[in-house]
Structure 1
Amino acid sequence: MAVPIKMADIARLAGVSVSTVSRALAGSSLVPAAKREEILAIAQAQGYVINEQARNLRLKKTRTIGVVIPLGHEVGQLISDPFFIELFGRLADEITARDYNVLLSKIAKPEPGWLDRLIQSQRTDGLIVIGQSDQHEALNHTARTHLPLVVWGAHMPNQLYCSVGSDNIGGAYTAVSHLIRQGRRRIAFLGMADVPEVSLRREGYLRALAEAGIAADPALMEPAHFTLDTAYDSMRHLIDSGIGFDAVFAVSDVIAIAAMKALAAAGRRVPDDVAVIGFDDITVAAYSSPPLTSVRQDLARGARVMVDLLFRRMEGEDTPSATMPAELVLRRSCGAA
């Protein structure tokens, strides 16, 4: 059996030290380009295979980024949710473009200390958390001692962690203001306001109503979870209550699409009888029936910003949070051509 060639053998053949070979194989600019190419050619000719696991252990790096979805508020929501799929895909593209691997974790019913245990497992070099859920305090606690952490979500008062997200207040305000300009006065709100991003979207909804001189009616604020079945039931509950409404602002596209299905089942025409606007502008929004007007979150840009901030934090930089503008995309569900 042939004896595997070692780095020391490459060093002897190239007439350099073992440390120089190590740097050359890692692509270090400390080794002149000509010498680096010579060492790489010798290693290839001799059939030398780099032990990435051993090298990462020496460097105390895993070359892996963790993407975590905590679902303390929504245990029934699946990773296959269209919003998660789109954002995770964007993140994976950005992370793998930097030659890092991705480790995806869903944390259903997070228990105290879950985030610290995840970090202590040393399986990743940095963490991206998708959504604050009801874990704002846990994220704040961990951020005091763990720098390489970036969260997709709302920017909260007294927040210690770095977050990236959209202008939830502004996006909701623009959507509801558009409905009001279209002559809609009884606008229902669908969403769970105890989630940070949703709370801000509710604030934008209320601000638009107040500015138009429309009194907010608590009976029109219907709690709705982020899953199709539960959101459908919430819309049916509002319909069956007999309360009059001529528009719906849903805090996600999934909720909005379920609402349109429930309205159709009840014989309500969208947008003739009830106009509907969602939030996120996931790909399926443009292909729903009718096509859904939605507040677009730029997930491609968001993923790019999150990964950039995380890698800067992995280098020791304490980066600030970022809030991106949200854009209203008009389609037929609110009467737009």
Structure 2
Amino acid sequence: MPKGTNERTHESATDQVTLLVPVDESATIPLAAHHGVFLGALERELRSRGQYLVLRGVAGPGELAAQLKRVQGAAVLLGFRDDELEALPPGAKPLIAVDSYAESSALTIVRADDFSGGGHAATLLATYGHRDMLLVGPSPGGSGVASARERGFTQAITTVPGVTLGRCVTTGTTYLEGVSLGRRLPALHPGATAVFAFADTLAAGLMDGLAQARIRVPDDISVLGFDNIEPSTHTAPRLSTVAQDIQRKATLAADVIVSIPDELAEHISPLTVDTHVIDRGSVRALRR
């Protein structure tokens, strides 16, 4: 072999990390926008450490367990429901679950501090004088992330007098769901002065739907998102949001993976990343 060439002809099993994600009815992978950002960040992080990432779609909970038996090395689980992860049988394979609230000793969980993020959102809106607020996102009963953000929000406003809090449940956090809801929002909640959407994509759609209904943001209603992904800087006005450090989340996941198996016990699950508010142009202060 010529000098200077890579002498390793194949990657070992421990160099391979498999990212498992659910597929929809059309057998495509419907990654949420912030999950797509995480995927890119994780791939870069692992590549810089001499590992490579394999993406694999999973058709359902039954197939998930079967796929895990065939996976070499560590597995990262992204986009699965908590109950699906809790049903996985215990095993020796290292599993990292992202954005999960599953209760399982078999998982190392990496996620944002969603509870504090919800609290940051409530504090911003209340400080700006908003008292008729609306939460928009998936049902807390079906999403640990949504539940934590809602609980953080509601706890933060318990000491704020005169608050009216409404709730609009969505199936997911897509842009199109936001547009559809935004068109109907003036009729559904005519008194609301501020909306906290549980994802930037949902918030961006809401803003477009509200514009179609001739409702101005933030003059008529304020909109606050969550994630701080790139589209939040391209809305008009630019979207105020609760930022999570997705790159840090990818770094934490990679840290767990590269420490396997010797130092895995040193990682205390869940591993969380902090959140903070980025106040751009979609939330305004009310005169009180």
Q: State the AA in 2 paired with 1:129.
A: L
**1:223 match: secondary structure:** strand
Partner of residue 63, structure 1: 15
Moved more, 96-105 or 158-167: 158-167
- Equivalents in 2 of 1:143, 1:282: separation in Å? 35
- Alignment CA distance shift 1:335-1:216 (3 Å): closer
**Residue 44 (str. 1) matches residue 2 (str. 2):** yes
Q: 1:331 aligns with which of 277, 280, 283?
A: 280
- Judging by fraction of residues, say which structure has more helix: 1
Q: State the AA in 2 paired with 1:121.
A: R
TM-score under structure 2 normalisation?
0.86
Partner of residue 264, structure 2: 317
Report how far residue 102 of structure 1 moved: 1.1
User: Deviations for 1:109-167, whole angstroms, at most 9, x for unmatched residues?
Assistant: x233x322112123x31111224x42x23323437313411111144556652111111
- Equivalents in 1 of 2:155, 2:162: separation in Å? 10
**Residue 202 (str. 1) matches residue 154 (str. 2):** no
Q: Contact conserved, 1:68 with 1:128, CA < 8 A, in 2? A: yes
TM-score under structure 1 normalisation?
0.74
**Residue 227 (str. 1) matches residue 174 (str. 2):** yes
- Equivalents in 1 of 2:34, 2:202: separation in Å? 12
- Equivalents in 1 of 2:226, 2:29: separation in Å? 17
User: Deviations for 1:212-246, whole angstroms, at most 9, x for unmatched residues?
Assistant: 134554xx210122111122222333323254200
- Equivalents in 1 of 2:6, 2:254: separation in Å? 33
**1:267 match: secondary structure:** coil
- Structure with greater Cα Rg: 1
Q: Contact conserved, 1:77 with 1:226, CA < 8 A, in 2? A: no
Q: Contact conserved, 1:154 with 1:166, CA < 8 A, in 2? A: no
- Equivalents in 2 of 1:179, 1:147: separation in Å? 44
Q: Contact conserved, 1:143 with 1:149, CA < 8 A, in 2? A: no
Q: Which has the higher contact order (CA 8 A, sep 6+)?
A: 2
- Equivalents in 1 of 2:29, 2:136: separation in Å? 16
Report how far residue 316 of structure 1 moved: 6.3
**1:104 match: secondary structure:** strand
Partner of residue 196, structure 2: 249
Alignment identity in percent? Answer: 22
Report how far residue 281 of structure 1 moved: 0.3
- Equivalents in 2 of 1:212, 1:158: separation in Å? 36
Q: Contact conserved, 1:143 with 1:161, CA < 8 A, in 2? A: no
Partner of residue 111, structure 1: 61
**1:190 match: secondary structure:** strand
- Equivalents in 2 of 1:290, 1:65: separation in Å? 40
Partner of residue 19, structure 1: none
Q: State the AA in 2 paired with 1:70.
A: P
- Alignment CA distance shift 1:127-1:240 (3 Å): same
User: Deviations for 1:280-302, whole angstroms, at most 9, x for unmatched residues?
Assistant: 00012122111111111101111
**1:177 match: secondary structure:** helix
**Residue 266 (str. 1) matches residue 174 (str. 2):** no
Q: 2:114 aligns with which of 151, 161, 168?
A: 168
Q: Following superposition of structure 1 onto structure 2, how do residues 268-307 of structure 1 map, counting pairs within 5 Å?
A: 268-307=215-254
Partner of residue 92, structure 1: 43
Q: How many residues align?
A: 278
**Residue 185 (str. 1) matches residue 131 (str. 2):** yes
Report how far residue 83 of structure 1 moved: 1.3
- Equivalents in 1 of 2:203, 2:134: separation in Å? 11
Q: Contact conserved, 2:175 with 2:203, CA < 8 A, in 1? A: no
Partner of residue 30, structure 2: 78
Q: State the AA in 1 paired with 2:167.
A: M
Report how far residue 274 of structure 1 moved: 0.6
Q: State the AA in 2 paired with 1:65.
A: V
- Equivalents in 2 of 1:71, 1:196: separation in Å? 20
Q: State the AA in 2 paired with 1:116.
A: A
- Equivalents in 1 of 2:143, 2:23: separation in Å? 11
Q: Following superposition of structure 1 onto structure 2, how do residues 12-31 of structure 1 map, counting pairs within 5 Å?
A: none
- Alignment CA distance shift 1:183-1:103 (3 Å): same
User: Deviations for 1:262-288, whole angstroms, at most 9, x for unmatched residues?
Assistant: 111111111111111100000121221
Q: State the AA in 1 paired with 2:17.
A: I
Unmatched tracts of structure 1, length 5 or more: 1-42
Unmatched tracts of structure 2, length 5 or more: none
- Alignment CA distance shift 1:160-1:96 (3 Å): same
- Alignment CA distance shift 1:90-1:221 (3 Å): same
